[in-house]
Amino acid sequence: MTVIIKDTPINPYQDLQEYEETKLTKNNAIGASNIFIGTMRDFNEGDHVKLMSLEHYPGMTEKQLNKIIAAANQQWALIDILIIHRVGDILPNEPIVLVSAWSSHRGDAFDACRFIMENLKSKAPFWKKERLINEQERWVISNTKGYLTTKNY
């Protein structure tokens, strides 16, 4: 179970391959790997966004992400989890976050990955500031809801 916060670009497929080769819990029982990659888009609230600065609360971020991982481990049979999150200045199309869950069965991997992502969005202390094409800067006020239903995760 690994949490990485970095101010350099995430190369999701390379980072995953390296993790699988060097750090992933060695286990022939892995039957499912579920991967989520969040990237920066160049629009928000109808405006063109040219850059985003991600601030975080060092220490609390890791603490909260580890609590989310612990909660996921309570609910699903997981073999390993990797979270990588970017901070600092990010350009459109660059990855912001990677969450990967490994388990024996797809249900656990799918559901745990989603659970971790939704909890990260609502509990991990990161904040985005957008720079628009006209150089105006503004804080993102809140994240959009991840689920289209009223189901409470």
Partner 1 sequence: MSIKIRYFASLKDYIGHSEDEIIYEKALTVSEVWQQATQNKIKPQNTLVAVNMDYVSWDELVNDSDEVAFFPPVTGG
Site residues (vs partner 1, CB under 8 A): 38, 54-57, 59-60, 63-64, 85, 96-97, 117, 120-129, 139-143
Answer whether 32's CB lies under 8 Å from 106's CB.
Answer: yes
Q: Which is nearer to partner 1, 13 or 57 (CB)?
A: 57
Please state the separation of Cα 43 from the chain's center in Å: 19
Residue 62 CB, nearest approach to partner 1 (Å) = 9
Size (the chain), residues = 153
Q: Which residue's CB is nearer to partner 1, number 79 or number 97?
A: 97
The whole-angstrom separation of Cα 5 and Cα 95 is 13
Q: Nearer Cβ to partner 1, position 33 or 39?
A: 39
Q: Which is nearer to partner 1, 16 or 83 (CB)?
A: 83
Backbone angles phi, psi at 83, to 5 degrees: -120, 125
Q: How far is the CB of 105 from partner 1 (least distance, A)?
A: 25
Nearest approach, Cβ of 29 to partner 1 (angstroms)? 29
- Encoded tokens for 38: 């969040």
Check if the beta carbon of residue 52 is closer than 8 Å to that of residue 128: yes
* Closest distance to partner 1 from the beta carbon of 90 (Å): 11
Tokens 């989310």 -> residue: 68
| 91 three-state secondary structure | coil
User: 78 or 117: whose CB is closer to partner 1?
Assistant: 117
Smallest gap from residue 128 Cβ to partner 1 (A)? 5
